[in-house]
Amino acid sequence: MDRLVLHEDPVSGNCYKIRLTAALLGLPLERRSYDIRKGETRTDAFLSEVNANGRIPVLQVGERFLPESNAACFYLADGSPLIPQERFARADMLRWMFFEQYNHEPNVATLRFWIAFVGEDSLSEAQRVQFPARRAAGEAALALMDEHLATRPFFVGETITLADIALYAYTHVAEDGGFRLAEYPSVTAWLERVAKVPDFVAMEETSPVILAKARVD
């Protein structure tokens, strides 16, 4: 395989998905860090060379660049047991990955960013107005996951797939965004199962607000 370089911000759950996928597959991954809060993904060099969308993560494969975390995970895992062989199961895995980007990330990850990185006192008026709807939509996403996981060990089939990796990334830090994981016992049990998969790696970084709180406590 070509040389793999992950262009990332270490505090981003979307970047962590790719590191976790590579770890489970035993693939070597070089890492290049950018601080999104300092605009480091909006420079001319980044926009012209890495991603015209100004976003991370981007997976570099040799001289080619692949944005979108879930697409990068699919590239790494293509042909591996992390993607089901059976046709319906493969599409069902993608179903949960699209659910993650549409119903879960814009709510669960966004509230984490607003609370733990921006800070509740610093939110804009537009953010404040959207807050209750995003809270409700995030809770609905977690409740749907909890119902699904009540009768299954993983999202699709009997073993871990990319659907679990995609949803694990922001769910396991959902309490940073004020969600109460104790209310979702099947989700909590599933988080523990994922963390016990061989070669699992943790998301290293904690938010600056949480670190600041920890220093105060």
Sequence-distant (≥ 6) Cβ neighbours of residue 178 within 8 angstroms: 111, 115, 135
In this chain, which of 103, 186, 188, 207 binds a copy of itself, going by CB under 8 A?
A: 103
Q: Does 117 bind a copy of itself (CB under 8 A)?
A: no
Q: Does 70 bind a copy of itself (CB under 8 A)?
A: yes
Q: Does 144 bind a copy of itself (CB under 8 A)?
A: yes
Cα–Cα distance, 146 to 97 (Å, whole number): 16
In this chain, which of 105, 115, 169, 179 binds a copy of itself, going by CB under 8 A?
A: 105
Q: Does 200 bind a copy of itself (CB under 8 A)?
A: no
Q: Does 126 bind a copy of itself (CB under 8 A)?
A: yes
Nearest to a copy of itself of 81, 208 (CB atom) = 81
Q: Which stretch binds a copy of itself (CB under 8 A): 3-11, 33-41, 85-93, 114-122?
A: 85-93
Please report, for residues 5, 16, 168, 190, the alpha-carbon distance to residue 108 in angstroms, rounded to integers and kept in the order given.
27, 15, 11, 17
Q: Does 94 bind a copy of itself (CB under 8 A)?
A: yes
Binding positions for a copy of itself, 28-67, rule CB under 8 A: 52-53, 61, 64, 66-67
Q: Does 135 bind a copy of itself (CB under 8 A)?
A: no
Q: Which stretch binds a copy of itself (CB under 8 A): 32-40, 92-100, 111-119, 202-210?
A: 92-100
What Rg, from alpha-carbon coordinates, does the chain have? 17
Which pair of tokens denotes residue 75? Answer: 């590239």
Sequence-distant (≥ 6) Cβ neighbours of residue 59 within 8 angstroms: 4, 5, 6, 7, 18, 65, 66, 72, 75, 76
Which pair of tokens denotes residue 80? Answer: 């591996």
Q: Does 78 bind a copy of itself (CB under 8 A)?
A: yes
Chain contacts with a copy of itself (rule: CB under 8 A): 52-53, 61, 64, 66-72, 74-75, 78-79, 87-88, 90-92, 94-95, 97-99, 101-103, 105-106, 125-126, 129-130, 133, 144, 147-148
